[in-house]
Structure 1
Amino acid sequence: MTEIGTYVYAIARDADSPDPSGLEGVAGAPVRTVEQAGLVAYVSAVPLDQFGEEPLRRSLENLDWVADTARAHHHVVETVSEAVATAPVRLVTVYTGEEQVGALLERRHDAIAEVLSRVAGRSEWGVKAYAEQVLSPPPSSGDDQGTENPGTAYLKRRQANLRDRNDAWRHAVGEAERVNAALAAVAVASRRHRPQDPELSGREEWMVLNGAYLVDDDRADEFATTLDALRGQGLDLELTGPWAPYSFTDIDLNEASDEL
């Protein structure tokens, strides 16, 4: 018989937490709740032959498996967050049983409650800024004709192209700083994530800003208006959200020794 673990998606306050009936999580498992100390954890049962420590290492090498798991995880988190202030739990957090989850809620109650208070009535918005790359033109043998040594002429052209590229990069980064400062002034909190490379972003341009902003729900329109006023000034700005506050719920669940 396959051993079963308990997968944790998100934590909310007991009061007003939505009923998970009909909600499916990873591997199509029904989502249920574990209640303790005035908190509710949204969980589901998962087979440890896939989600145990050793099998999980192999599973994480399967990009399709990771994508399916992440999609199901985020669906549960977003569903809960639409109804109540929610602290998302990191992807693939699995415990040996519901008793361990309840003990976690008891032990980490104060830290979790503080996070839930901070994100209540607020949502996360994402903003990415892109700038056109300055590409060096291919070397032209025709430009090397004349009195100047061809090798010297080539090096001068190359240096000029690099200066143009560096100047363009510095300008784009400066514009991104200005955008981030304007948006952060509207937000309650902001974070800069590492820019994605083109394989992840799906775009060839430089990504010069990958920001997350925690915004009061009653200022969401103001945030969007501020962003719109920054458009058309050299950067292509992409707005996503609202999301559950993934970037602003740093709860250290690793203190629980029963995590797999």
Structure 2
Amino acid sequence: MQVEAGTSKLIYLYAFIPTEEYEENPLPHLKGIDPQHSMECIVFDQITAITCLVKHEDFSEEVLQKKVENMGWLQDKAFHHHEKMNALHNRYTVIPLKFGTLYENEDRVKEVMDTNKEGIMAQFIKLKNQQEWNVKIYTDKKKFIEEVEVSSPEIEKKKQEIKDLPRGKQYFEKKKMSQFVENEADKEIDRFCECFHEQMTSYSKEEEVKKNWERNLTGRKDDMCWNGAYLIPKEKVEQTLAFIKKIKDDHENFTFEITGPWPAYHFSNFTERGETNGG
């Protein structure tokens, strides 16, 4: 594949894989993000890029910025990208690129591979036989607060302290009590999640703590209290999932959402800043 700058085609870049693995297991025919073109490979020494030709009028930077505002189009193309990344991950050691990574021509793709060769090769070594698993933890905070109020030694101690105060002061301290109870509940939730994360580090090669989502994003009635990504060696996956199940079964106040295995989306930056787009 060779696309010169100024033509009507761009190169959509999905991922990098080791050339050795590609030669042992050639890429099957897969329809590209532009359905008129198949996914193709650009081989550069020990690194192979998985790509697809796309029309400039559909994927130029200006057009793409407008198209991502169309949720129907975005969902369709993002699903394609995600689905194909999973297919690649099932066959190869994959460094996944972000959705919408585009280059003007093959020379620019090779330039990226050449410039970042050392980092890409290091990532291949790190990611071989690894899987990303995501763990989200939820709790019904209102219900949790109610249970903490009757079970926490700290809250019971506070109630006793208030009882010993003069009647006038009791009134003001009782008004503060609800905030105190909520703070204690938050501490209990944080302790549980941090303890879980600490235990997960004994199974994972790398971890990333992500921002919790608000209810309007999760569509749930309970609250997300933990959102973590974990890079797990394949041989430890079964053991890791058994550990999570035990924690889940032992703590009814918390709901776990475990997803995977995924390509290493959170653990595959091959430059200091991470390669996020083309040019």
Who is 1:22 aligned against? 29
Map residues 75-154 of structure 1 onto 2, 5 A cutoff. Answer: 75-134=83-142
Who is 1:58 aligned against? 66
Who is 1:74 aligned against? 82
Aligned partner (choices 160, 171, 176) of residue 193 of structure 2: 176
TM-aligned CA deviation for residue 255 of structure 1: 8.8
Contact 1:21 1:32 survives alignment (8 Å): no
From the superposition, tell whether residues 252 and 56 of structure 1 become closer, same or farther in structure 2 (CA, over 3 Å).
Answer: farther
> Are positions 1:11 and 2:30 aligned together?
no
TM-aligned CA deviation for residue 99 of structure 1: 2.0
TM-score (norm 1): 0.85
> Are positions 1:235 and 2:254 aligned together?
yes
Partner of 1:16: helix, strand, or coil? helix
Contact 1:2 1:47 survives alignment (8 Å): no
Structure 1 stretches lacking a partner, 5+ long: 138-147
- For 1:255 and 1:183, the matched residues in 2 are separated by 25
TM-aligned CA deviation for residue 22 of structure 1: 2.3
| Aligned residues with identical type, % of pairs | 20
Structure 2 stretches lacking a partner, 5+ long: 1-5, 147-166
The one-letter code of the counterpart of 1:104 is V
Partner of 2:69: helix, strand, or coil? coil
- For 1:188 and 1:71, the matched residues in 2 are separated by 28
TM-aligned CA deviation for residue 187 of structure 1: 0.7
TM-aligned CA deviation for residue 169 of structure 1: 2.1
Partner of 2:141: helix, strand, or coil? coil
- For 2:183 and 2:76, the matched residues in 1 are separated by 40
Who is 1:36 aligned against? 44
Contact 1:27 1:69 survives alignment (8 Å): no
The one-letter code of the counterpart of 2:213 is Q
Aligned partner (choices 242, 247, 256) of residue 266 of structure 2: 247
Deviations 1:225-251 (A, max 9, x none): 111121132321111111111110012
- For 1:204 and 1:215, the matched residues in 2 are separated by 30
Who is 1:226 aligned against? 243
> Are positions 1:47 and 2:55 aligned together?
yes
Deviations 1:45-78 (A, max 9, x none): 1122222111111112222222112111111211
The one-letter code of the counterpart of 1:50 is D
Contact 2:96 2:264 survives alignment (8 Å): yes
Aligned CA RMSD, in angstroms, stands at: 2.7
The one-letter code of the counterpart of 1:11 is F
Partner of 2:21: helix, strand, or coil? coil
Contact 2:34 2:53 survives alignment (8 Å): no
Partner of 1:212: helix, strand, or coil? strand
